[in-house]
Amino acid sequence: MTFRKARIAEEENSCLDNDAAFVASVGFVECPQSGQWLIDSAASSHMTPEKELLVNYHQFEKPEVVGLGDGRTVEAIGVGTVHVNMTFEVSDPKHAVLKQVLYVPKLACNLFSVHAAVSRGNVV
């Protein structure tokens, strides 16, 4: 799924009220609840505005510029690992580790990068 734009935290946002591990949508979508992830086929890296999710976090000496789908840019100021529990209606929960997750404080949502997952040998 391709998202045409991602909201930044300063903008008004509302959250979806569901228990999904991941949310997929075509076009613009509102931010899910804290701790949930949007699947983004256009994102080059996994990203989160929730620093508390990051394990083995380290801050960059110089922030990295991240381009958003609508042409705006924000800064990634660090990177770490995130442990997630994925829930499914048709199977048991699964534990996953997302590596090299960028900390981007101005994002409104966690972004799961299809590109990053596939480049590590996973199937999405």
**pLDDT classification of 30: cutoffs 50, 70, 90:** low
Q: Distances from the Cα of 46 to the Cαs of 63, 66, 89, in angstroms?
A: 16, 11, 24
Has residue 16 got a pLDDT over 50?
no
**Confidence at 48, pLDDT banded by 50, 70, 90:** very high
Residues 122, 116: Cα–Cα separation, whole Å: 9
Which residue is it, tokens 């979508």? 29
Label residue 28 by pLDDT band (50, 70, 90).
Answer: low
Q: Which of 40-44, 52-56, 66-70, 115-119 has the highest mean pLDDT?
A: 52-56
Is the four-CA dihedral 100, 104, 109, 114 of positive or negative sign? negative
Domains annotated on the chain, with CATH: 22-119 (2.40.70.10)
pLDDT digits (tens, 9 = 90+) for 55-73: 999 999 999 999 987 888 9
pLDDT for 29 beyond 60: no
Cβ-based neighbours of 5, under 8 Å, separated by 6 or more? 28, 68, 69, 70
Q: For all residues of the chain together, what is the average pLDDT? A: 78
pTM: 0.73
Confidence band for 33, pLDDT divided at 50, 70 and 90: low
Strand order in the sheet with 22-23: 22-23, 37-40, 110-113, 47-48, 94-103, 73-86, 55-67
How many residues comprise the chain? 124
Residues of the chain with pLDDT > 70, as a percent, come to: 73
